[in-house]
């Protein structure tokens, strides 16, 4: 087993370009490191190319507040023209910009759609993982559940949503590489266990499972690990293990997808509060988009319950400060909390697109974080 780069090696490579991939052998790649920005044009000219052929630019700023300086560099050299891929790395360096460029001689551009290798972890071979570590790939772990979602949705709803979002994001992002791990279909669902079809882990088993997955991925050299969650019951355990893993020097981040887009859900949703919670307007709309063959539209029932306490809001669009134990068997009739009768394919598409866009922004920011 290859242990992957150590922490210090990874830090030493800050901003370094990944090795050439097969598609990038078509062009000559020049790496220009740690040059004062005044000299960039000259350096490129000596290398037989020009600023117009810059495919990718990494800037390491001397000061995290120095975005204005970065903008000056961009405007000076590129004006309004678009650099195909730009990554801003934030680091403390000694009194100069560290700039790395990837350029094509003769103006021949690489096909950005073919830039990176495989997206799905389960399809990769061992050498491909070693290459992905050198490319400083980020790994997304989709989490969800196998649990009842009322009479109309499949039990795979939550994991299908997070996995589908993760794969779409990984395909779209071009400025760094994303790999999607195998989806974690088992979650923490004690509140659904009384309904048929639910498979639940207990709290510590779920936490241990996620910790071991994160630690395994980290052990191979991946330093950016992001858990994308699709099940409300996993939310608190995942937040806890992000802290627990700090003790192991494994730094990860997590989000439950609907928490990325509360404003968009307020605009898209037609149901009153309580209409987007479980097997609801939002989840049903997404499933109509993502696995329509598994949705029984004619079996939809509306169940909106007031929260047991006014300061506990059970809705994707708004959460209150108070949490309490919610037992679906006791507190709902059909295992539904929300209004799936208002779900539409069009809403599913809007929710999917909004989540993907927001997640891309979040992951770009996370990629630039140096722990
Ligand atoms: Zn769900």
For the chain, which residues make up each domain, given as ranges?
12-113, 116-371
Measured in angstroms, how far is the CA atom of residue 231 from the centroid of ligand 1?
5
Question: Closest Cα partner for 153 from 274, 283, 257, 258?
Answer: 283
Does pLDDT of 351 surpass 80? yes
Q: Which residues surround ligand 1, an ion (CB under 5 A)?
A: 157-158, 283
Measured in angstroms, how far is the CA atom of residue 158 from the centroid of ligand 1?
5
Q: pLDDT-derived band of residue 103, with 50, 70 and 90 as boundaries?
A: low
Question: Closest Cα partner for 361 from 226, 252, 237, 238?
Answer: 226
Q: Is 321 exposed, middle or buried (0-12, 13-18, 19+ CB in 10 A)?
A: exposed
Measured in angstroms, how far is the CA atom of residue 335 from the centroid of ligand 1?
11
Contact predicate 355/261, CB 8 Å: yes
Measured in angstroms, how far is the CA atom of residue 207 from the centroid of ligand 1?
19
What pLDDT was estimated at residue 313?
85
Measured in angstroms, how far is the CA atom of residue 318 from the centroid of ligand 1?
16
Q: What is the pLDDT of residues 71-85, one digit of tens each?
A: 666 666 665 554 544
Q: Name residues whose C-beta falls within 8 Å of residue 237's C-beta, 6 or more positions apart in sequence.
A: 188, 203, 206, 207, 210
Q: Which residues pair with 318 in a beta bridge?
A: 315
Task: Summarize the confidence of residues 304-310 as an average pLDDT.
Answer: 89
Q: pLDDT-derived band of residue 42, with 50, 70 and 90 as boundaries?
A: low
CATH class of 116-371: alpha beta
Task: Print the SS3 string covering 146-194.
Answer: ECCECECECCCHHHHHHHHHHHHHHHHCCCCCEEECCCECCECCHHHCC
Does pLDDT of 340 surpass 70? yes
Q: pLDDT-derived band of residue 10, with 50, 70 and 90 as boundaries?
A: very low
What pLDDT was estimated at residue 369?
87
Measured in angstroms, how far is the CA atom of residue 208 from the centroid of ligand 1?
22
Q: Which residues pair with 88 in a beta bridge?
A: 59
Measured in angstroms, how far is the CA atom of residue 118 from the centroid of ligand 1?
28
Residue indicated by tokens 């000219």 = 45
Least confident of 21-30, 57-66, 319-328: 21-30
Question: 106 — phi, psi (to 5°)?
Answer: 75, 10
* Fold (CATH) for 12-113: 60s Ribosomal Protein L30; Chain: A; (3.30.1330)
Measured in angstroms, how far is the CA atom of residue 279 from the centroid of ligand 1?
6
What's the start-to-end Cα distance of the chain, in Å?
A: 25
Q: What is the pLDDT of residues 170-226, one digit of tens each?
A: 988 888 999 999 999 999 999 999 999 999 999 999 999 999 999 999 999 999 999
Q: Which helix (H) or strand (E) holds 54?
A: strand 54-61
* Alpha carbon separation from 326 to 156, 231, 240, 271, 316 (Å, rounded): 21, 14, 20, 21, 15
Measured in angstroms, how far is the CA atom of residue 300 from the centroid of ligand 1?
14
What pLDDT was estimated at residue 40?
64
Measured in angstroms, how far is the CA atom of residue 170 from the centroid of ligand 1?
22
């Amino acid at each position: 087993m290859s242990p992957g780069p150590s922490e210090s090696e990874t830090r030493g490579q800050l901003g370094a370009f990944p090795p050439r991939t097969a598609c990038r052998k078509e062009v000559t790649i020049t790496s220009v490191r740690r040059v004062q920005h005044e000299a960039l044009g000259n350096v490129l000219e000596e290398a037989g190319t020009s600023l117009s052929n810059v495919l990718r630019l990494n800037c390491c700023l001397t000061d995290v507040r120095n975005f204005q300086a970065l903008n000056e560099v961009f405007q000076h050299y590129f004006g309004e023209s678009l650099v195909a891929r730009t990554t801003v790395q934030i680091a403390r360096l000694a009194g100069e910009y560290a700039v790395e460029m990837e350029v094509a001689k003769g103006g021949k551009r690489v096909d950005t759609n073919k830039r990176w290798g495989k997206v799905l972890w389960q399809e990769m071979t061992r050498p491909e993982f070693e290459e992905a570590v050198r490319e400083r790939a980020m790994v997304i772990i989709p989490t969800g559940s196998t649990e009842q979602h009322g009479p109309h949705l499949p039990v795979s709803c939550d994991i299908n949503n997070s996995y589908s979002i993760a794969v779409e994001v990984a395909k779209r992002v071009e400025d760094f590489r994303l790999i999607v791990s195998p989806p974690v279909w088992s979650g923490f669902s004690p509140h659904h266990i009384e309904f048929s079809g639910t498979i639940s882990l207990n709290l510590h088993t779920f936490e241990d499972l996620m910790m071991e997955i994160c630690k395994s991925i980290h052990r191979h050299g991946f330093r950016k690990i992001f858990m994308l969650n699709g099940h409300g019951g996993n939310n608190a355990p995942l937040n806890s293990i992000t802290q627990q893993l700090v003790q192991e020097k494994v730094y990860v981040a997590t989000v439950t997808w609907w928490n990325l887009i509360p404003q968009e859900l307020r605009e898209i949703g037609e149901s009153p509060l309580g209409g987007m919670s479980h097997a609801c307007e939002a989840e049903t709309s997404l499933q109509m988009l993502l696995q329509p063959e598994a949705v029984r539209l004619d079996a939809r029932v509306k169940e909106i319950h007031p929260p047991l306490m006014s300061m506990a809001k059970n809705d994707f669009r708004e959460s209150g400060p108070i949490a309490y134990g919610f037992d679906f068997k006791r507190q709902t009739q059909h295992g539904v909390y929300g209004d799936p009768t208002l779900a539409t394919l069009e809403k599913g598409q809007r929710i999917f697109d909004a989540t993907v866009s927001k997640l891309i922004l979040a992951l770009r920011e996370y990629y630039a974080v140096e722990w």
